[in-house]
Amino acid sequence: VVLAGDMLIDFDLRDLIRKHLERQALGTLLLLDDPVRKRQFGSIGLSSSGRVRRIANRLDLEQESSSGLFVGLRVFSPTLFEALPPDSGAGSFEDLTDWIGPILSRPDSPVYGEMLTPAELQWVPIGTPEEYLAANLDPPAAPYLSTTPLAAPGAKTQSCSPPHSEL
């Protein structure tokens, strides 16, 4: 599982991995069904079977039936790394274009997108100082995270909430 670091995300990861394994996919990209934000952040196009057919405006293999906002999470099978093209030495690298793009060009490429609704996937970008501050002042709900505090056995914990006068 590869996760971009500029977001908060909460969803059922076990279900995504199960679907990835059932499809015997090389890669699975997590998408959010969000028509407004996909225009801002870019989208991934899918065929009716869920295979990736388009990566933003950089690669278009046509036969697209739906599209979603790519939220920066991907599941890669170990065999994906064997299918990667050799290093071009160009100096810049972007995994979707440089790794996944050439794989998608192969017939019946087993790279899929999994589209979730906002009810199934909580995604909050925190890539700018304003987004980061907003997410800290009003944290999103995280229904898939455990509500049980996790600490080492015997660890002493205490509340870290600042007094209201400091807010």
Is 70 exceeded by the pLDDT of residue 141? yes
- Pair of tokens at residue 98: 């440089």
**Using an 8 Å Cβ cutoff, are 6 and 117 in contact?**
no
Q: What does the mean pLDDT of the chain come to?
A: 82
Is 90 exceeded by the pLDDT of residue 20? yes
Identify the DSSP state of 166.
Answer: G
Question: In which band, very low, low, confident or very high, does the pLDDT at 73 lie, cut at 50, 70 and 90?
Answer: very high
Is 90 exceeded by the pLDDT of residue 161? no
The pLDDT of residue 153: 67
pLDDT tens digits, 36-54: 888 887 899 999 999 998 8
The pLDDT of residue 142: 76
- Pair of tokens at residue 15: 């279900």
The pLDDT of residue 52: 92
**Using an 8 Å Cβ cutoff, are 10 and 124 in contact?**
no
Q: Which stretch of 12-21, 56-65, 141-150 has the lowest confidence by average pLDDT?
A: 141-150
pLDDT tens digits, 92-107: 556 777 778 888 887 7
- Distance separating the N- and C-terminal Cα atoms of the chain: 36
**Using an 8 Å Cβ cutoff, are 76 and 7 in contact?**
no
Q: What is the pTM of this model?
A: 0.79
**Using an 8 Å Cβ cutoff, are 86 and 22 in contact?**
no
pLDDT over 70, % of the chain: 80
Strand, helix or coil at 24? coil
